[in-house]
Amino acid sequence: MKELSLNVLDLVQNSIKAGADCVAVSITESVSSDLLTISITDDGCGMDEEFLRRVTDPFTTTRTTRRVGMGIPLFKMAAEMAGGSFEISSRKGEGTSLRAVFQLSHIDRPPLGDMAGTVAAIVQSSPEMKLIYELKTDEGAFTFSTEEIKEALGDVSLSEPEVVEWIREYVRENELALH
């Protein structure tokens, strides 16, 4: 993956497949502590202990059509190559939570990239799901929540092109203000 925001998009697809009603993506970028932390928490179906133990293995997947599952291994590798770490926890029936920490200034850390594009793509794919995206930097914090905009939209779907475009621009503008 060229950008970490693409890993986030990919991993949230796992949450969607796990039937999550709510997914929270939280990113903390701190120049002062030289760390970038990305965490994703969902209330999907979760995994049992046995599956969780081998979930970072690229030959583990829930798919039945093929035997590889690269999403989590790629994210873990990206963190470990950038002087960081990866952890994942899950309980069957309750949900899954994962977190990767990167050394912000590490030469091998991929750029975070277009998180606004990722948020727009997630909302476009699952307009009914609740998504909370939070970005914290040394300059401040920004939170985007689909619940907030659902109120303003009434019965208009979040997957309408006009709405998706608005979300992309809204997130982008607010992120720029934090850098």
Partner 1 sequence: MKSIEDLKRIREEMQNKIKLRSEEGAETRVVVGMATCGIAAGARPVLAALVEEVGKRNLENVTVRQTGCIGVCRLEPIVEVFEPGKEKVTYVKMDAEKARRIIAEHIVNGHVVEEYTIGAAEGGANA
Residue 128: CA atoms inside 13 Å, Cβ hemisphere, count? 4
d(CA 55, CA 11): 12
Q: Could you tell me the two tokens for 128? A: 């009914």
d(CA 87, CA 42): 15
Q: Could you tell me the two tokens for 136? A: 């914290």
User: Which one of 20-28, 99-107, 128-136, 162-170 is the stretch in contact with partner 1 (CB under 8 A)?
Assistant: 162-170
From candidates 19, 70, 94, 128, binder to partner 1 by CB under 8 A: 70
User: Which one of 21-29, 34-42, 132-140, 146-154 is the stretch in contact with partner 1 (CB under 8 A)?
Assistant: 146-154
From candidates 94, 128, 138, 148, binder to partner 1 by CB under 8 A: 148
71 counts as binding partner 1 under rule CB under 8 A = yes
Largest interatomic CA distance in the chain: 46
100 counts as binding partner 1 under rule CB under 8 A = no
Q: Which ranges in the chain belong to alpha helices (H)?
A: 4-17, 49-53, 71-81, 115-125, 146-153, 161-176
Q: Report the residue number, 87 or 169, with the smaller CB distance to partner 1.
A: 169
From candidates 28, 39, 103, 124, binder to partner 1 by CB under 8 A: 124
List residues near partner 1 by CB under 8 A. 1-2, 6, 9-10, 13, 17, 63, 65-66, 69-71, 74, 114, 117-118, 120-121, 124-125, 148-149, 152-154, 156, 160-166, 168-170, 173
